Structure 1
């Protein structure tokens, strides 16, 4: 099992029974997510949610005079809430307050890393801002149905995210409309270079192409008074100078840097990164090979989930990845990856490991955001309807069908799915899983598309009445 990072604060004897209960609940949640012989049932998840809230109430009563204490009870409680949150998504309750917990935890990590990285796209912030507002609505809507203990906790965590988001927006506040596209392009190149650096075979030609793009952008920025630093001397001296100047910029950040300073530093970082990765060719120091391979393995597995998400992802699967990443993230010392002797990584290893860590968090964020509000039990039907809808749309784009006979396979599939419903509901045994609205909407959309295609086919196959056929045997007009 992948546990949370350990907290070494002595446990109050009064809290030991709470810890025991939470450990038992976590074990049940883990068994629930690992059992692939059946789908996750709503009743099981709701019962475990109630059990967790019961322990939260007890802890709050014990800690009336020590609200800020953090010990192992809190780390295990966080595990339980994370698993409950992902389980809520698994049963299709994505828009309920408990489901917000996992999203907010991942968003907090993502925002902290964006702030640490200094450079990010305005589009990154727009997406997160929109989702945080959605979470606010879910919490507001759940006030009458969920424990105030949970809602207070979520509200506090969302406020932290909102404050960090406001700081990140401030950093980009001086970007002008004409400089924003160039800034976005530089952010994109920096990320693309990092992606190149983590490939099995280092793509020299692709990196050279990005270098040429950087030089082009550099020329375009000169009229704005933005230039990358220049240096004479050996290649090693140039790299050392670049690192020193960038380190001064990173150690002394401005609350809201001017656009010129922001873009200039980003341009410098890009040129430095090209130089470094070209010299290293993907070779990681032995001392940091283990965390590199671990992070690369996590990212690779998450990328596979991205490809098969609709058919194979159970949202609770993300928990183990979240926990592994959290352990790696929290093992850093003053923001640095350190080796077995406590020595910080060089800039190259530091940037490479951070890229993989941030990319993995970003992928989890995307998987959570793109999770459909449909119960795992109904996903096979939902996926069939989604695929059918795509097929019908493509057929329509290509000009439709030449005869109604070509519509038979689509109509038969639609009718077979429609016949699964009992009193208008998709039933699994005696249960009515969440996601009925999504399925009903998709089914209606597919029927509408099929109806349009059939009508178009009938119209095109009808005999065309011409003036000559109307005139019968009459001779030509005089």
Structure 2
């Protein structure tokens, strides 16, 4: 608990805000409204301002207040995503937390690909863009905190990139392939039904790479050892050793760590389903519960490993299996946050219908269009029915005007444009056919 009486008062108010946020998150009877979120956001920002004045930049160790504040900031961030305000500073907070987790794990494992780093780098650039454009509209503390987090993540990212830069391009390609095989093997190891055949096929790919080496080294076209050859050879040895362990254990986890394993398997599977059905089933605030569970298990490690009830560390097989599940789950959360649409959940059903319509119309266009205007009637009727839902040009839910009006209207306009192009093309094709028929029938009439 905080020792300062003023901090204890702030803690009480933050706890009340946290409770309200959790209640709002659990309420499935109605859509989350912007005004409800903004009231709690403003209350939170005021407590942050007061805390900043008390501490004046000095912070002597973390206490209970910091934990509750982190929880509130995380929840508010996910609420901003849920109401469609994805390009504002508060929405970026939760994503930086997940990126930091991912980077910490990549640093710890020393197993990452250039694609991993590129994706995270692009996301951080986007978050910095949000910060630059939106900073004047939000709490300077939140903006400062986000800028600090982005800077720390970029620093870690640069160090990881340095490690890949030490590899010549041909061995970088081998490195990427090994990372892909290793992850596929870890996935096979955590499937509900273990497949020996699948793992043996992956091991055969490792042997192919091993056979391409000369005296245990990767050589260039000039016969010289490539820079980074030793590091990639070491990774290959680790992959082969892991394949042997996986084939021996066949996905069986000791009872002492079975509970943790089952929790992580369920989290991974649930997040995987969400990543497939995201557009129709995800409420971003749901990710909070997954994060809390993962953070709790991740932070329970002692010197990087978990201990059983007797204080004995998990063996290598268990440790790597659990870490894979945690990292995979954080990866799914990162993907789901990154893919959050700039539309309130109240408008998502309409937005998703339009997304589907757009994909269908593009598919029709790419496959040669329609033979008659009549074939476009179902699309036209659906578009008109959605357009007629607008009141004074806005999509209303009750008396509310949910966030994301511009995105939905823009998508609707794109669908109308595609539909119009297809109709014009069909009409022109019909006219051409009529002209051809009339021309072909003209000589016959003369001959008769």
2:294 maps to 1:325: yes
Question: Deviation at 1:69?
Answer: 2.8
2:435 to 449, 453, 464: 464
TM-score (norm 1): 0.88
2:47 maps to: 55
Cα deviation, residue 216, structure 1: 0.6
SS of equivalent to 2:346: helix
Query: Per-residue CA shift, 1:70-98, capped at 9, x if unaligned?
Result: 10100000000000000000000001000
RMSD of aligned alpha carbons: 1.9
Give the secondary-structure state (helix, strand or coil) at the position aligned to 1:207: helix
Q: Distance between the aligned counterparts of 1:378 and 1:86, measured in 2?
A: 17
Q: Tell me the residue number matched to 1:45.
A: 37
Q: Distance in 2 between matches of 1:137 and 1:382?
A: 25
- How far off its partner does 1:472 sit? 7.8
* 1:377 pairs with one of 340, 346, 352: 346
Are 2:100 and 1:129 aligned? no
3, 7, 22: which one aligns with 2:14: 22
For the residue of structure 2 that corresponds to 1:310, the secondary structure is: helix
- Which of 392, 398, 422 is matched with 1:423 structurally? 392
Q: Decide whether the 8 Å contact of 2:166 with 2:228 is kept in 1.
A: yes
Determine if contact 2:185/2:199 at 8 Å carries over to the other structure. Answer: yes
Total equivalences in the alignment = 439
- 1:142-181 → structure 2 map (5 Å cutoff): 142-181=134-173
Tell me if 1:269 matches 2:206. no
1:214 matched to 2:184? The reply is no
Mapped to 2, the partners of 1:149 and 1:451 lie a distance apart of: 49
Q: Is the 8 A contact 2:81 2:284 kept in 1?
A: yes
After TM superposition, the structure 1 = structure 2 runs for residues 11-410 of structure 1, keeping only pairs within 5 Å, are 11-64=3-56, 66-222=58-214, 225-226=217-218, 258-410=227-379
In the TM superposition, what whole-angstrom CA distance separates every residue of 1:5-35 from its partner, at most 9, and x where no partner exists? xxxx654333221111111101111111111
Deviation at 1:473, TM superposition (A): 5.8
Higher fraction of helix? 2
- What's the TM-score, normalizing by structure 2? 0.94
What is the alpha-carbon distance in structure 1 between the residues aligned to residue 143 and residue 306 of structure 2? 35
Shift of 1:63: 2.1
- Tell me by how many angstroms 1:175 deviates: 2.3
| Distance in 2 of aligned mates of 1:376 and 1:89 | 9
Does the 8 Å contact 2:257/2:308 carry over to 1?
Answer: yes
Q: Which segments of 5 or more consecutive residues in structure 1 lack a partner in the other structure?
A: 1-8, 228-256
Task: Show structure 2 runs of 5+ residues with no match.
Answer: 220-225
For the residue of structure 2 that corresponds to 1:374, the secondary structure is coil
Deviations 1:24-61 (A, max 9, x none): 10111111111111111111111111111111122222
Take 1:37 and 1:10, find their aligned partners in 2: how far apart are those partners?
37
Q: CA deviation at 1:448?
A: 1.6
Aligned position for 1:254: none
Distance 1:213 1:42 in 2: 52
Counterparts of 1:287 and 1:365, CA distance in 2: 30
Sort the Cα spacing of 1:11 and 1:321 in 2 relative to 1 into closer, same or farther, 3 A: farther
